[in-house]
Amino acid sequence: MEDRLQEIADRCAQIEDQLARPEIIRDNNRFRDLTREHAQIRPIVVKYEEYRRIKKELGESEEILKSEKDEQMREMLRSEVALLQERIETLDAELMVLLLPKDPNSGKNLIVEIRAGTGGEEAALFVADLFRMYSRFIDDRGWKLDFIESNATGIGGYKEVVFSVSGAEAYDSLKYESGVHRVQRIPSTESGGRIHTSAVTVAVLPEAEESDIVIDPNDLRIDVYRSTGHGGQSVNTTDSAVRITHIPTGMVVTCQDEKSQLKNKTKALKVLRARLFERMEQERLAKEAQEKRSQVGSGDRSERIRTYNFPQSRVTDHRIGLTLHALESFLEGDLYEMIDALKRHDIEQKLKITVG
């Protein structure tokens, strides 16, 4: 393990040297990639430097202990050695976790798509609930949410909501949300008090850089039209809404949130690039079946991951078997306990494979 840690330390020093060069600073893509890599490996180097320092102190204390004759001093040294050994064991475990294979999309911004599934209007209302839940969580973390597209229903629900999130660790926290979210509650229109079950699909897509996915302009059909609001009410009087069709795959992306046609086109291309990147990632994961099974979830949109039960005020994640009896605060954006548990489980599964 130490050989690998030394390689990382050498690489970190190399990156720091490159980041100081004017030609690298002028190359935006290269500078961005090096900065991202440095941010990922620097915490490992800091931990490794502490590990080496503590290991050196331990060796020095053990040498002194061998020659020390005074019993009181020997007792003090033995206590010091025990503390240093304990710290080394802790650092050893922390370094092993830091050396686990990183998600290749770690650190990226993301696009979230929430869509109503089975359940009609109830599902559409729950799309609105989840959008509010994620918005609160994102705001609490200090990340940035950029609204992209929505398809509203008449009574406050959404058939779909699409938005992007940018911020440190945003993807690493929210990537576990991909899948089917099931809600069990009594609709306001239900006179008999019966519990209805509805489903909503959440897709979390890493935001792809232009270098990740190259889109041939000849593969795109771009249509513009007039933006409209609820019930056909005109939002503006210009053809600012954009519909982009990726001809090879048949993927269609629309955006009319901005008054500017150019801004809508930029947002739509961002979503299209993310969807194409996700398709590429799913193909990669399919080839790495063992690694895929080690994850908390594959990110498959058809996988039922969580149930929100209103009568019992509980939320249950089926992947890790965790139930929280705090549905109200959860829907207000308090996702921390759930996300931390999902992260720990993911690490545990990866350690089982790494350690054997």
Per-residue pLDDT tens digits for 184-242: 998 876 656 788 999 999 999 999 877 778 899 999 999 998 876 543 444 555 678 99
Per the CB < 8 A criterion, the answer to whether 197 and 188 are in contact is no
Per the CB < 8 A criterion, the answer to whether 261 and 207 are in contact is no
Bridge partner residues of 146 (DSSP): 164
Instruction: Return the pLDDT at 19.
Output: 95
3-class state of residue 117 by DSSP:
coil
Mean pLDDT of 111-127: 93
Range among 103-107, 146-150, 293-297 rated most confident: 146-150
On the question of pLDDT at 46 being above 70, the answer is yes
Mean pLDDT of 1-5: 86
Residue 216: count other Cβ atoms within 10 Å of its Cβ: 9
For residue 102, what pLDDT band results from cuts at 50, 70 and 90?
A: confident
Instruction: Return the pLDDT at 293.
Output: 47
Q: Which of 9, 170, 33 is nearest to 98 (CA)?
A: 9
Instruction: Return the pLDDT at 232.
Output: 40
| Amino acid type, 299 | G
The CA-based dihedral angle spanning residues 231, 232, 233, 237, taken in that order and rounded to the nearest 10 degrees: 170
On the question of pLDDT at 131 being above 50, the answer is yes
| Lowest model confidence (mean pLDDT) among 54-68, 300-314, 336-350 | 300-314
Bridge partner residues of 205 (DSSP): 111
Q: How far apart are the first and last CA of the chain?
A: 15
Bridge partner residues of 5 (DSSP): none
Residue predicted with more confidence, 226 or 299 = 226
- φ and ψ at residue 150, rounded to 5 degrees: -155, 160
Q: How far apart are CA 136 and CA 218, in angstroms?
A: 40
3-class state of residue 67 by DSSP:
helix
The mean pLDDT of the chain is 88
> Cβ neighbours of residue 224 under 8 Å, at least 6 residues apart?
239, 240, 241, 242, 243, 261
Residue predicted with more confidence, 164 or 234 = 164
pTM of the model: 0.73
Residue predicted with more confidence, 119 or 229 = 119
Q: H-helix or E-strand containing 245?
A: strand 241-246
Mean pLDDT of 105-115: 91
On the question of pLDDT at 104 being above 90, the answer is no
Instruction: Return the pLDDT at 355.
Output: 59
Instruction: Return the pLDDT at 191.
Output: 58
On the question of pLDDT at 297 being above 50, the answer is no
Mean pLDDT of 317-340: 96
Q: Which long-range contacts does 293-298 make (Cβ < 8 Å, 24+ apart)?
A: 294/349, 294/350, 294/352, 294/353, 295/346, 295/349, 296/176, 296/320, 296/342, 296/345, 296/346, 296/349, 297/176, 297/178, 297/179
On the question of pLDDT at 356 being above 70, the answer is no
Mean pLDDT of 132-154: 94
Q: How far apart are CA 37 and CA 25, in angstroms?
A: 15
Instruction: Return the pLDDT at 49.
Output: 96
> Cβ neighbours of residue 232 under 8 Å, at least 6 residues apart?
none
Q: How far apart are CA 117 and CA 159, in angstroms?
A: 8
Instruction: Return the pLDDT at 239.
Output: 77
Q: What is the pLDDT of residues 12-40, one digit of tens each?
A: 999 999 999 999 999 988 998 899 889 88
pLDDT > 70 fraction of the chain, expressed in percent and rounded: 90
Q: Which residue has the tokens 């109503």?
A: 116
Per the CB < 8 A criterion, the answer to whether 30 and 24 are in contact is yes
